[in-house]
Amino acid sequence: MIALLVTLLIVGYILVLGISLWIFTECWLMIDAPPALVHTVKFRVLHCTGHLIVTWGCILEKLRICSMPSFCQFLHDLLPIRKDPKVVVTNLHFGTIRVRLFQPKAMSSGPRRGIVFYHGGATVIGSLDIYHNLCSFLAEKTDSVLLAVGYRKLPDYHYPVCFQDCVNATIYFLKTLKQYGVDPARVVVSGDSVGATAAVVVTQALVGRTDIPKLRAQILLYPALQAINLQLPSFQQNKKVPFLVRDLMMCFLRYLRIDPFWEDALLTGACIPANMWEKYKKWVSSDNLPERFRHKDYKPEFLAPFNEAAYLETRHLFEADNAPLLADDQVIAQVPEAFLVTCEWDVLRDDGLLYKKRLEDHGVPVSWYHAEDGFHGCIFLFDSMFFSFPCSEKVMAAVVKYLRGI
């Protein structure tokens, strides 16, 4: 009996190792790692490891052992948290929403700047723990009170919970600024990836509110802002560039409760009625991009024949809280100034550039930092020693410089 168990364990180990090696190798061969990223081998290893985790999560999900998001979140939350002796960290709840407050220990002569931070992770990964070190660094280096919002996400929560949590937590914070020693004239919302999307949603949702202080600025690190045009140059150029390859981006469909069956309709534009395209192309067409971002191999948008069934299943994607780039002009004109970060090797690069143009067209001041060697998710690797990249350090330095100027 013991011999049988040992044999089964050995066979199981070899099987797991073999599958893992196959997944890792296939991913290594499929992705692009532009030379501009400098550390291309390290870049490939990181992405292939992440892809391996997601794939095993999907396998465990099919075996009904646990969900893919739960598996990914469990492993990510094993990463160590570094305690900064210069920062006081407090875990709180705003109703059902977990938040974490970062306050510099040093004495201040007056109220501090306030930063509300929403983490990235496509509502699949990302957490207060994973972004702890980054938030602690930001609070200390900019002498700010930072509130990190632990919005609810997959697998238990779906659209529209994530953005609702971010809006509600921000409103509560704005109503209690005095309690945390925050200057109501210097409150900034910020985030990366889907967290940056949340920051845009929050700024638009709070337009016109007179019962709370006005936001001073929005800091947006490579946001996702629309799903109307998924044929933009950056989508074509970077569809195989980690960490957000186009196929992985479709994982966000889980949060939106959209069946993966409709993926091709979304990518080709078959789910978009002609009248909707005519209405929104003035904002989402590649014609609005600077010439330098339309690479020589780019093929202009060409929508597939309209599929009404696909539209009915995906139409909530085109609402302003999912596609804030499509918000009404009067809303865009009233949002606070923005600091926008885009990365050259990011599938979402053009979303940021299109939003930059919309803001500028309505007189909203925009400061822009473009990381020529940057990729999606680079800020997450900031200060991670061996796994850090030059672009991570440069983007964080640009954010700190901007914040210190407010």
Which pLDDT score is estimated for 18? 74
User: Which is more confidently placed, 332 or 16?
Assistant: 332
Q: Which of 311, 208, 238 is nearest to 268 (CA)?
A: 311
pLDDT greater at residue 247 or residue 116: 116
Token pair belonging to 343: 């990365």
Q: What is the pLDDT of residues 258-295, one digit of tens each?
A: 988 898 899 889 999 999 999 999 999 999 999 899 87
Q: Is the pLDDT of residue 303 over 90?
A: no
Higher-pLDDT residue of 10, 177: 177
Residue 132 appears among annotated catalytic residues: no
Our count of domains for the chain comes to 2
Instruction: Decide: 135 and 102 in contact? Cβ < 8 Å.
Output: yes
Instruction: Round the average pLDDT of the chain to a whole number and report it.
Output: 91
Catalytic residue among 193, 234, 286, 392: 193
Helix (H) or strand (E) holding 243: none
Q: Are residues 59 and 123 in the same domain?
A: no
Catalytic residue among 192, 346, 350, 373: 346
As a residue count, the chain comes to 406
pLDDT at position 90: 97
Residues 208 and 106 in one domain: yes
Q: Are residues 200 and 70 in the same domain?
A: no
Query: What pLDDT was estimated at residue 192?
Result: 97
The confidence band for 170, taking pLDDT boundaries of 50, 70 and 90, is very high
Q: What is the pLDDT of residue 247?
A: 63
Question: Residue 396 and residue 165: Cα distance in Å, rounded?
Answer: 26
| 144 labelled catalytic | no
* pLDDT band at 5; cut points 50, 70, 90: low
Residue 9 pLDDT > 80: no
Beta bridge partners of 87: 104
CA 295 – CA 94 distance, rounded (Å) = 46
Residue 246 predicted with pLDDT over 70: no
Residues 6+ apart with CB under 8 A from 233: 286, 289, 293, 294, 295, 298, 350
- What is the C-alpha to C-alpha distance for residues 213 and 180, in angstroms, rounded to an integer? 14
Residue burial 310-321, b: 16+ Cβ < 10 Å; e: rest = bbebbeebbeeb
| 346 close to 222: Cβ distance less than 8 angstroms | yes
Q: Which DSSP letter does residue 65 get?
A: S
CA distance 279 to 277: 5
Give residue 105's pLDDT: 94
State the pLDDT at residue 302: 74
**pLDDT band, residue 347 (cuts 50/70/90):** very high
Of 38, 53, 76, the last residue of a domain is 76
Q: Which of 4-18, 227-241, 318-332 has the lowest mean pLDDT?
A: 4-18
Which residues touch 125 (CB under 8 Å, ≥6 apart)?
A: 69, 72, 73, 76
Mean pLDDT, to the nearest integer, of 361-374?
Answer: 97
Spatial separation of the C-alpha atoms in residues 219 and 208, rounded to whole Å: 20
Query: Lowest-pLDDT range, 79-88, 195-204, 368-377?
Result: 79-88
Q: What is the pLDDT of residue 245?
A: 76
Name which residue leads in pLDDT, 167 or 30: 167
Residues 183 and 305 in one domain: yes
Single out the residue in 76, 102, 124 at which a domain terminates: 76
67 is catalytic: no
Structural domain for 65, as ranges: 2-76
337 with 358, same domain: the answer is yes
Asked if pLDDT for residue 383 goes beyond 90, the answer is no
- What pLDDT was estimated at residue 23? 77
Which CATH number goes with the domain that contains 293?
3.40.50.1820
Contact 374, 39 (CB under 8 A): no
**DSSP calls for 94-113:** ETTEEEEEEEESS--SSPEE
